[in-house]
């Protein structure tokens, strides 16, 4: 089954406002007319400015997190209502930096996933094992646990708006990439697990991105794997010169 290639940039806590606007406008010009699916995950404070730049383009605007609840007394939180107000279409959730630096639990991630989907947004759900899990032979179990916990209560219909990003934590920002074969093995497992949680149709249609030190030099081999449908790119997404070639793979 032919799935669209989906290349996403996760800018994390980087760029100034001027750099964000410049990067977004460079990407709008460079990706114009290209048919793959593209997304950029922009820091909250620059979403408004970047939204004006990507409006009407083929680039999906994403936030890097959202609150699990509706507007109200939640100091420091950013709601899905606010994000939608700015033209945001997608939210990256469950990123390992939020799981392991901030301490987000799967229970909280699940609340955010359901909140975003119930509000009509797309979700890019990140999963992946720590080095210790991999060394103990537990990579698949960790991914299976995260998938079942984070997707609890998500309907088959809502799964059309869910992308999974498999990001082995030991490969993020470290320059270490999983070999295409190792990555493919987990992607295949994840697809099979989605088939168990839902059905084969949902599994065949779900886009599964790889993330972790992806760059133009290793992207072609990774993207050539049958179950790797795209990438969630951190470091290499911060410059048009390094991100666009991945989008063109
Ligand atoms: P990286 O980050 O490409 O810098 O490894 C990927 C990610 O965390 O999404």
Catalytic residues: 95, 167
| 234 among annotated binding-site residues | yes
pLDDT, tens digit (0-9, with 9 covering 90-100), for 40-55: 999 999 999 999 999 9
Q: How far is the CA of 211 from the centre of ligand 1 (A)?
A: 6
User: CB neighbours of 74 closer than 8 A, spacing ≥ 6?
Assistant: 67
What integer pLDDT is reported at residue 105 of this predicted model?
A: 98
Best of 167, 209, 237 for a ligand 1 pocket test (most atoms within 8 Å of beta carbon)? 167
Distance CA 150, CA 113 (A): 7
pTM (predicted TM-score) = 0.97
* Paired tokens of 123: 């979700």
Section 83-96 average pLDDT: 98
Closest CA to 119 of 81, 157, 71, 156: 81
Three-state SS for the chain is CCCCCEEEEECCCCCCHHHHHHHHHHHHHHHCCCCCEEEEECCHHHHHHHHHHHCCCCEEEEECCCCCCCCCCCCCCCCHHHHHHCCCCEEEECCHHHHHHHCCCHHHHHHHHHHHHHCCCEEEEEECCCHHHHHCCCHHHHHHHHHHHHCCCCCCCHHHHEEEEECCHHHCCCCCCCCHHHHHHHHHHHHHHHHHHCCHHHHHHCEEEEECCCCCCCHHHHHCCCCCCEEEECHHHCCHHHHHHHHCC
Best of 124, 233, 239 for a ligand 1 pocket test (most atoms within 8 Å of beta carbon)? 233
C-alpha of 96 from chain center: 11
Number of the ligand 1 atom closest to the C-alpha atom of 213: 5
Distance CA 65, CA 113 (A): 10
User: CB neighbours of 145 closer than 8 A, spacing ≥ 6?
Assistant: 106
Count the neighbouring beta carbons within 10 Å of the beta carbon of residue 204: 13
List, in order of start, the domains of the chain with CATH numbers.
Answer: 6-247 (3.20.20.70)
pLDDT, tens digit (0-9, with 9 covering 90-100), for 144-187: 999 999 999 999 999 999 999 999 999 998 888 889 999 999 99
* Paired tokens of 226: 């049958």
Between the alpha carbon of residue 207 and those of residues 40, 87, 138, 164, 219, the distances in Å are 16, 23, 23, 6, 16
Report whether pLDDT(61) > 90.
yes
| 235 among annotated binding-site residues | yes
| 175 among annotated binding-site residues | no
Q: How far is the CA of 162 from the centre of ligand 1 (A)?
A: 19
pLDDT, tens digit (0-9, with 9 covering 90-100), for 130-143: 999 999 999 999 99
10 lines ligand 1 (CB under 6 A): yes
Report whether pLDDT(1) > 80.
no
Q: How far is the CA of 71 from the centre of ligand 1 (A)?
A: 30
Distance CA 116, CA 77 (A): 14
What integer pLDDT is reported at residue 179 of this predicted model?
A: 94
Report whether pLDDT(103) > 90.
yes
Q: How far is the CA of 35 from the centre of ligand 1 (A)?
A: 23
Average pLDDT, the chain: 97
| 192 among annotated binding-site residues | no
Best of 13, 213, 243 for a ligand 1 pocket test (most atoms within 8 Å of beta carbon)? 213
Q: Tokens 């088959």 belong to which residue?
A: 156
Number of the ligand 1 atom closest to the C-alpha atom of 236: 3
């Amino acid at each position: 089954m032919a799935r669209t290639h989906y290349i996403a940039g996760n800018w994390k806590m980087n760029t100034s406002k001027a750099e964000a606007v410049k990067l977004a406008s460079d990407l709008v010009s460079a990706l114009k007319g290209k048919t793959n699916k593209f997304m950029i995950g922009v820091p909250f404070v620059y979403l408004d400015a970047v939204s004006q730049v990507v409006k009407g383009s083929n680039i999906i605007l994403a936030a890097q997190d959202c609150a699990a609840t509706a507007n109200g007394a939640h100091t420091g939180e950013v709601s899905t209502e606010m994000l939608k107000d700015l033209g945001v279409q997608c939210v990256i959730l469950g990123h390992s930096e939020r799981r392991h630096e901030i301490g987000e639990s799967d229970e909280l991630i699940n609340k955010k996933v359901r909140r975003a989907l119930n509000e009509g947004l797309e979700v890019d759900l990140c999963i992946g094992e720590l080095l210790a899990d991999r060394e103990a032979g537990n990579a698949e179990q960790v991914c299976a646990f995260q998938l079942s916990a984070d997707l609890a209560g998500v309907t088959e219909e809502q799964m059309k708006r869910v992308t999974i990003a498999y990001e082995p934590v030991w490969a993020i920002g470290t320059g270490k990439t999983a070999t295409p074969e190792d990555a493919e093995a987990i992607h295949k497992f994840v697809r099979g697990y989605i088939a168990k949680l839902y059905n084969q149709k949902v599994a065949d249609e779900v886009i599964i991105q790889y993330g972790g030190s992806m760059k133009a030099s290793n992207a072609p081999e990774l993207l050539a794997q049958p179950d790797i449908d795209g990438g969630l790119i951190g470091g290499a997404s911060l410059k048009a010169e390094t991100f666009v070639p991945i989008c063109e793979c």
